[in-house]
Amino acid sequence: MPTPWPPPAPPPDDLPGPGRFTHLHPDSGACLMETASLLATGRFTDSPPGTHPVLAALARVINDSVDDAARAALRPLAADLAHAYPPGRTYGPWLIGGLLDAAQRARPRSRRLRRRRSACRRRIARITRSRVPAPLARAADALWWRGPGHHHLEHALRVLVAFPDADQRLVLLLTDAVAHAAAATRSPSSEPALPLTL
């Protein structure tokens, strides 16, 4: 059966070819986020400063989870990923909530997914009401992301990668997430409102 991906846009000649996992040097290939970093800063890292850390984590996991054809289809997203850092504290929980929504649509009877979705919504509500100073807010957000936020993201992706059409689902999901992030970065006054589609 032919792969459903459209042919990706050809990358610049001097960029390394797409590969899984982290690489020590561009000669051995580059994951999606390493490509985004090269485009944005010229530095070879999988955590470029212009990409929201939750979106970067999602892109890394999806890059490493899909086959070569799907990974090549993701490559054109690198340019938008290089400059995708929506402002505001609610973006991280919103994005993870969107992943959980997508996982819930794939597995509608899962109570654990419902609990995790509710936790993300409560986090957004708390942030919206919060009036704490910026340094404390940054610390609280970092703790949430390194603890429950990361666990929620991993659980949603474990559900999604188990499906036979996982590659197609993940490519569509990341494409949608990057489009939302790029739009929110260009128009910082708009809060994310639409769910991720799948």
Name the residue ranges covered by the structural domains of the chain: 20-198
CB 36 within 8 A of CB 51: yes
Distance from C-alpha of 195 to C-alpha of 100, rounded to nearest angstrom:
10
Residue 8 has pLDDT above 50, yes or no: no
How many residues are listed for the chain in this entry?
198
| pLDDT top residue among 46 and 81 | 81
CB 41 within 8 A of CB 48: yes
| pLDDT top residue among 1 and 137 | 137
Q: Which residues contact 189 (CB under 8 A, 6 or more apart)?
A: none
* Confidence band of 181 (pLDDT split at 50, 70, 90): very high
Distance from C-alpha of 124 to C-alpha of 92, rounded to nearest angstrom:
9
Residue 6 has pLDDT above 70, yes or no: no
* Confidence band of 5 (pLDDT split at 50, 70, 90): very low
Type of residue numbered 154: E
